[in-house]
Amino acid sequence: MTIADSGFMMENGGSCLPYTPEQEKQIVDDLMNKSESNLREGNLYYVVSNRWFTSWQRYIGQGNREYPINRHFPDPQHLDVVPSKTVERPGPIDNSDIVLNGNGFEGDDLEILRTLEEGRDYVLVPREVWEKLFDWYKGGPALPRKMISQGITHKKFMVEIYRLCLKLTDSRDNSQSIIRLSKKASVHELYGMVCTLKAIEQEKARLWDYFNKQKQTILIASNRTLEESTLQMDQDWVHLCVLHLQILLEVQQDGYWPSGFGMDSTGNELALVPMEPPRSSVSIAGGPTLSNGYSTVQTSNLYRGSALGSTFTDMEDGYDGLRSVAKGDRGGLAGLQNLGNTCFMNSAIQCLVHTPPIVEYFLQDYTEEINKQNPLGMNGELALAFGELLRKLWSSGRTPVAPRAFKGKLARFAPQFSGYNQHDSQELLAFLLDGLHEDLNRVKQKPYIETKDSNGRPDVEVADECWRNHKARNDSLIVDVCQGQYKSTLVCPVCSKISITFDPFMYLSLPLPSTVTRIMTVTVFYGDGSGLPMPYTVTVLKHGYCKDLSQALAAACCLKSDENLLLAEVYEHRIFRYIDNPSELLTNIKDEERIVAYRLPKKRAGLTRLDIIHNCRQQCTPDSRKGDEKNFFGTPLVTYLGEDAQTGADIDIAVARLLSPLRRKPYPLLSKVHSVKENGSVSEDNPTNSCNTQYGSGNQSEYSTELEEMSRWDLSFHLSFTDERGSSREPIEKNSLIRPGQIIRVMLDWTDREHELYDASYLKDLPEVHKNGFTAKKTRPEAITLFSCLEAFLKEEPLGPQDMWYCPNCKEHRQATKKLDLWRLPDILVFHLKRFSYSRYLKNKLDTLVNFPIHNLDLSQYVKCKDAPSQSNVYELYAISNHYGGLGGGHYSAYAKLIDENRWYHFDDSHVSPVGESEIKTSAAYVLFYQRVKSAATPNGTGESSLGHASS
């Protein structure tokens, strides 16, 4: 049983807990630190429900003083906890809310819900921590998971939460079974599990990769992992259901394999496959390792089915060697099967495989270009897999292709794309272009080249030097056709040092300048008590910065030259956070939040800041002042104490000054002063300025003098020192000492007396930033042009605080200004439209229509290098990656132009259909692909520029 007050659990009526909450916390912290210093593949971790783990963290008091109030998600790093003495000890560990198949299973047999998110729904703890927690609390079920390494060239550790799920079909009776095991398990282990499950001898069993109800690849027992064998399929989120990767079991009977023929994925009859495959001089990535040695798959591990006596033929991605091939009739019109949330991959691939120079390159024999020595590459495997996929798509016919082998290679080299969650087509494109470059880099040994500063040299000289240095280390098809160069200029705001560099780029990520303004309401409070708080509604750019909001408020409230504004977010009558970063995006501030601005002096170095929160009491007595009663209300007040402020009396005076505009009667506090003075000569009935929100210097000076006189006797208010959450209190006495230059947080207790003297309504009902329904009707966003996006990308702007530049003159990091200019453009120019925005709590998509030219995009005026007059800067659009819908539930497709036909097609996964040129301009356009027009081919010798962008 649990005893709430003492925190002790009695067992068998006698023994008690051996550890206090503080000791439990220390033990777990030590074990966590030890585990983090010893990360290695194979370490065992346990999945624990965040619901239970949060209750345990509250119990041990973790985060009581270090973390802000969490009002969004139960993030274990931001827990709204109270001291452990007020929290009951949690019950047994309960993971029932994160498992799919209930409590009838244990450990490896349990399947964890697929929609969970680490930190929100579950946490991972090392084995040693789990053993301690289980020893203290019991419960379960235990959910052990192993740490695995992902990636080839850039390995990273991750805990395999969701294991590979295989659906086994027995060819004897078509019965089906589910097998779960790690993607790092070997094919030999898979055979062992299947043979144990079916009670058969391993020599009499063989397993097939069984995709689309066709036998694809036979698996031979070996130490090769399932991941390396491209067995990774296990779910299809498109239909929101689990789709298990299927394998087919065939059992030898009387020395013979089952008779009959199957059908392969290309529709050909599939005869029996011998256990020892025939040899061939042809090899491609993902297939058997034969004479050229470019594949990592061993002959004894895996081979593809084919007719007896034939060479290996494609059954999936069209692997037919590296010899030169020609485009098939009506080639380039095959779709790509959606393997489960892989529309993002299909969209990017279709754009690349319809890029003319890339098509021409991969249809030729590119064997000599493969770079297996590059440590930054992928042993040529990614280039081989992509090339063979392209060849299949450009072969004759329109049968959709399942890019399973390519997806497997992609997952091996880029673990972030493993599994079947939705991803970003531009992120995949960036990785793929970079990976293809490294696999095809003609430079086998990269020379060391020391970079030099411009030091006032001509731009042309510096740019050519940088480009030569880049080409000395990077020389590939991708560099030849996809990489350009831009000029970056940094200026130090202190010493005006100018630094100019020339850097390569593979695509341009363009921001979408917002044509929609945002209305924001912020309440301004006076930090010196010279006026009533006043809400101001200002209009700012929707995607502007906090400095824009401060500037608009400063103009609206007539901010003085010796003042500035301190923005803060108020939640539950306390300051949740100060918004003191001028470069913070306004998108981080949500409409339902409550924002205040405090007018404070500019020169406040060395002064003591005073934060005041309000607590309502019915009656204040000496006993109740020491109690824990809390009933927060109103808006916190902020001010600064004078340089000579040293005692609690100074805090009392500052509070009285801040509350002075809220007086119900003029100078009500003087009644107390009058009662204690020997000669009462002050009148309470002077009506002058009783309702004025702006106090003249005479009145304010007179009032300040009387406050100082009053402070000589006793404190006027019931004040306590507290923390930022108001969870602790220590009464402030008249002679309580304070240290200058720090932040003091004070709780002001309001009794009936304070409510009688001051009108607290001015502190209540803080308005939201934006209240729907009370503002003007929203207008439909206007279309913007590609040129305005490009100009926004090239405009000068200060670096963010997280991107400070180290100035070689100042020898310090400075928030320099940065200006980008295009210097040389590539033959293939890719524009990424930054439609997705991210704030603290949400992600958003901009559906603004961008008007982009289809023909004759002329960028001449943006290119600063004028020494190549023969090089055209006019481009034609040939492909678009589209994104429809919102985040999480969106869909990708592609528009691509067949250059030979001069006709556009819509590639929507497996479905390919013609589309009119007038239909391809939509608000779904996400990544735009342009090809340079040869100078002589430019129609009329002119292109569409930013000065005239008529609709194409």
pLDDT for 243-255, tens place per residue? Answer: 345 566 666 666 6
Res 308: pLDDT: 25
Q: Bigger pLDDT: 522 or 738?
A: 522
Res 60: pLDDT: 84
Q: What is the mean pLDDT of the chain?
A: 74
What is the pTM for the complete model shown?
0.57
**What percent of the chain is modeled with pLDDT above 70?**
70
CA separation for the pair 177, 169 (Å, rounded)? 7
CA separation for the pair 248, 171 (Å, rounded)? 7
- pLDDT-derived band of residue 15, with 50, 70 and 90 as boundaries? very low
Q: Bigger pLDDT: 775 or 479?
A: 479
Q: At what angle do helices 50-60 and 21-36 cross, to 10 degrees?
A: 120
**864-868: average pLDDT:** 76
Q: Bigger pLDDT: 17 or 454?
A: 454
> Which of 244, 423, 891, 949 is flagged as catalytic?
891
- pLDDT-derived band of residue 193, with 50, 70 and 90 as boundaries? confident
Q: Is 288 helix (H, G, I), strand (E, B) or coil?
A: coil
- Determine the Cα angle at 41 with ends 38 and 47, to 5°: 85
Token digits of residue 686: 């002077």
Active site residue 543: no
Four-CA torsion 534, 540, 544, 550, nearest 10 degrees: -30
Is residue 8's pLDDT more than 70? no
CA separation for the pair 477, 434 (Å, rounded)? 11
Residue keyed to tokens 């010196």 = 528
The residues, any chain, with a CB within 8 Å of residue 276's CB and separated by 6 or more, are none
Res 246: pLDDT: 57
From residue 344, alpha-carbon distances to 336, 402, 579, 701, 894 in Å are 11, 14, 37, 68, 9
- pLDDT-derived band of residue 677, with 50, 70 and 90 as boundaries? very low
Least confident range from 6-15, 200-209, 894-903, 908-917: namely 6-15
| pLDDT tens figures, 350-389 | 999 999 999 999 999 888 899 988 888 888 889 999 999 9
> Which of 343, 466, 807, 865 is flagged as catalytic?
343
Active site residue 343: yes
Res 298: pLDDT: 29
- pLDDT-derived band of residue 637, with 50, 70 and 90 as boundaries? very high
- pLDDT-derived band of residue 9, with 50, 70 and 90 as boundaries? very low
Q: At what angle do helices 343-352 and 425-439 cross, to 10 degrees?
A: 50
Res 471: pLDDT: 92
| pLDDT tens figures, 867-879 | 665 778 999 999 9
Res 326: pLDDT: 60
- Which residues share a beta bridge with 205? 251
Is residue 272's pLDDT more than 70? no
- pLDDT-derived band of residue 681, with 50, 70 and 90 as boundaries? very low
**295-300: average pLDDT:** 28
